[in-house]
Amino acid sequence: MQSAKSSAGPTSNDHGQDEPEIAQYPLVDGCKAIIGPHAGYRFSGASAAWAYVCIKPETVRRVLVFGPSHHAYLEGCALSSFEQLETPLGNLAVDTRTNAALRATKLFRIMSAQADGDEHSMEMHFPYLRKVFEKHEVSIVPILVGQLTEVSLAKYAPVLAELVADPSTLVVVSSDFCHWGERFRYTHYQGEDGAPQRLSSRTPREEYSTRPIYESIKALDADGMTDISHSPQPVRPLAHASAGEAREAFSSYLAETGNTICGRNPISLLLATLHHLEKQGNTFRYPAR
C-alpha cells in the first residue's frame, strides 16, 4: 500500500512545525468506515480530508453518520426527522426508507428539530460528503449517538450490522479526540518518565518542562487510535486482529486514561457493529493498492 501526496505543500501548525505533505500511514483504497473530526475546519479540516480521500464514491449508495450529542442529553440513539440536509455545496438526501426501518425496531428516537439543527458533530461532515459524492447519488442516515451501555450496544449492533453488511453502505464516525484543559476538567499529563499525573494552574512548571503538554496529548491520542485499529492484515503496526479485540482494548483505554474523546460512544458503536459482523462470519478485508 502506498501513501498519496497532497496537492499542497506542507503548512505550519500552531506549534510552528511543518505538517506532513504525505499521509502518515498508508491510505486504504475503498474503506468501509472512516473516523473524522468535527472541530472547526481551520483546526481539523485537513485531517478530515485524509479520511475522505479513502472513499470510493462509485461503490457507495448509503452513508450512516454516527455523531455524538453535544447539546441534548440522550440515552441510546436518535434519527433525523428531516428529508434534506443543506450544505454550502448543495443538499444531501436523507434515506427516509432506512430511517423508517430503524424506527420500526423501537430502538431509535427522533431528534427534535432544534437539537438536530444545533448539533454540529454530523453537520461538519455533510459538506465533505456532498463534495465526495458530487457525481454520484447517495443517501444519508444521520444517527445521533448518546449514552450507551453494554446492554444497549448489544441491541443496536445487530440492527446496524444488517445495514453495514450491505457492500454499498459506508459508515462515517464523527469524533474529535482529547479535549484538554481545566475547563474540560481533564489535565492528564505523562512526562518522559511515563508516570501519569493531573496538572493544575498551581503545578510547578518544572514538573512538565521536559515534555511539552501537546506532545503528551499527542501520545495519549495515538494510543487510543492504536487501540481502535484492527485488521486481519494490519494496515499499520500494532493494529488488533479483530474488531472485538479493538473494542475491548478501547474500552480499557478509556477506563485507564479517562480521555475526553467526545466521539467515544459513536466509535464504540462502530466497533460493536463490526464485532457482530465478525461473529456472523462477515469480515471486511482491505484491498492493497
Q: What is the mean pLDDT of the chain?
A: 84
Contact 265, 145 (CB under 8 A): yes
What is the CATH number that goes with domain 28-176?
A: 3.40.830.10
Residue spans in the chain of domains classed CATH 3.40.830.10 = 28-176
Grid cell in block for residue 33: 468506515
Q: What are phi and psi of 172, to 5 degrees?
A: -115, 120
| Percent of the chain topping pLDDT 90 | 44
Mean pLDDT of 103-131: 91
| pLDDT band, residue 280 (cuts 50/70/90) | confident
pLDDT at 17 over 60: no
Q: CA–CA separation, 244 vs 254, rounded Å?
A: 16
pTM passes above 0.85: no
55-64, 173-182, 211-220 — most confident range: 55-64
DSSP 249: H
DSSP 211: S
Mean pLDDT of 39-53: 86
Grid cell in block for residue 127: 459538506
Give tens-digit pLDDT for 83-112: 999 999 999 999 999 999 999 999 999 998
Mean pLDDT of 12-22: 53
